[in-house]
Every structure is written in structure tokens, then in C-alpha cells.
Amino acid sequence: MDGIINVYKEKEYTSFDVVAILRGITHIKKIGHTGTLDPMAEGVLPVCIGRATRLCDIMPDSDKAYKCKMVFGKKYDTLDIYGKLLDTKDVTLTEEAIRNTMMGFIGSYEQVPPMYSAIKVDGKKLYDLARQGMVVERKARLVHIFNIEILNIDVNKENLSAEFIVNCSKGTYIRSLCDDIGSKLGTYGAMESLVRVRACGFDIDNALKISDIEKKARENDLQSIIMSMDKPFMEYKALYIHKDVRSLADNGNKLETSWVDGFDGANESEMFRLYMGDEFYGLYSYTGNMLKPYRFLKIK
């Protein structure tokens, strides 16, 4: 089996747990996930099976979206409510102030990654250092917030909070965004809950929990929930390889543009999906007047 399962990762599972469980369910060793989710986060976790694991690291990630609830006036070492409470502030905020501040984060900004993250500094993961009680300097990284949709703001002093959906770039830490929003308002901000609602072209409405996948396995119907390997790459134009150059294509060679159907010109480095009939050969880049394999999927 080759393809992608849109998994709904539940709370307290790590992304690695999901992969390990799916290996047991499917009896397939070659499985990998895209876009790690923290254990207390939940939602969309695309899992690649078989040859699709070759695509894990190049899945498009410009459409990531998260539903988040944050609370104000509380500071935690992890920047979410699952860490150690460090301080509180008695604060009064208006809905207008919260709304205007949150919307002001749309665009690019320099974000400092949290200490509790897997980023490495001098070869050591930050969360390992944080667990030793250490705090080290982290370089700010440019991230992009494409949109923020505010779902609810509660200005009740006992439950000062905001719930929103954020579309963001790869490498954006929502915990840090909550902390930054709080700081901008002159208080603290901490993430209370996080659900990834979209990633790599997969939506939460179609995501399957582990129990759903186990049921499909018992019914010998796993194939019905495994999506095609090309699904995340539909933004790229499809080209079709001529059958008389199959041997060249099967070996992952560069291809002349005259050897494919559907090519009508391209910019340098433009990406394409290539097929032989309905067999997805992978992603190819237009380079030097040739179609060069960018991520070639070895044919069975």
C-alpha cells in the first residue's frame, strides 16, 4: 500500500505514537508523519505509507491552520497551561483592545521560539535544556501570519480569553504567538488548547481517529481510507509521459519536454506532477529546458 492517511491525532498521543500504532494496524514498516504536533495538541496529522514516505519532507505547508484558545494574565514556563505556572497578573482588557492587537499580528514578524521546542542550539534540543532548568538565548525567526479569524473573546475578569483560527507559515509556534499577543497587551498570554484544522491539503472534517482506522483494518478495508500520493500537490500542473520513453522515465532520468503531453512552457524551476497513464511518477522541476526529477517515486 502506498498513499496518505489523514489522521486525527488525539490528545496525549505523540506524533511518533501515531506512527507506531499505525505500523501495528497496517503491518507496514515504512510509515512516516508530516508536521509534528505536540502531545497536548490534536487534529490533522497526515501520515505517509509506503513510497509516499519519500514525500514527507516536501509536503506543501502554506495552508496550515489552527484553532486556538488562549487565556490572559497567566505566565507558564511552556507558554501553555500544561506547564508550570510562573506568575499571574490582575488585568482588565476590552474586547476592542484584544481584537485590534490580535489582528495587528497579520503579516510577517520576528518570533522567538519557545524554550520547550525541538529546535537545537549547539546540538542540544531546547526542551532538553528547559527540563534542566536552563534558559538560553534563541534567535528570532521570521514567520508569517496569513490570517486570523476571531471566534470569541471573553472579557470576564475570571475567564479572560480569546478563541481564534490562525493561518500561518511553517515554523510558527502558536504558543509563542499567544505569548506575544499577551505581551503586546501589557500582560501574559498562554495557550489553553490547540487543534490543527488543516495541513498539507487535508482538512479536519475528513480526518480519522485511530479507532476509525482500526475498524477499517478489521473490515479489511484500509485501502478505502488511503489517499493517493499526489493529493497534496494538486497546485502543480500535470504532465503525461509518452509510453515510448518508459524505460528512461522508470530509471528517473531527465526528460525532454517533447516527451510529455500537456507542456506549454514554464518558468525556470517551475514544478510539475508527472504521470505515466494514471501512475504518479513524482514531482519534476523545469530546469535548463529539461524536466528534472525533484522527488522521484520509484516504480513498483
Give the residue numbers annotated as catalytic, written as ranges. 38
Residues recorded for the chain: 300
135 HSE (CA, 13 A, CB side): 4
To the nearest 10°, the Cα dihedral for 59, 198, 65, 124?
-50
CA dist 249 and 35 (Å) reads 30
Residue type, 173: Y
For 182, what's the count of Cα atoms within 13 Å in the CB-facing half-sphere? 28
- For residue 132, report the phi and psi dihedrals to the nearest 5 degrees: -90, 5
Separation between Cα atoms, residue 217 and residue 223, nearest integer Å: 9
Instruction: Give me the numbers of helices (H) and strands (E) for the chain, helices first please.
Output: 6, 19
User: What radius of gyration, in Å, describes the C-alpha atoms of the chain?
Assistant: 22
Strand partners, 6: 46
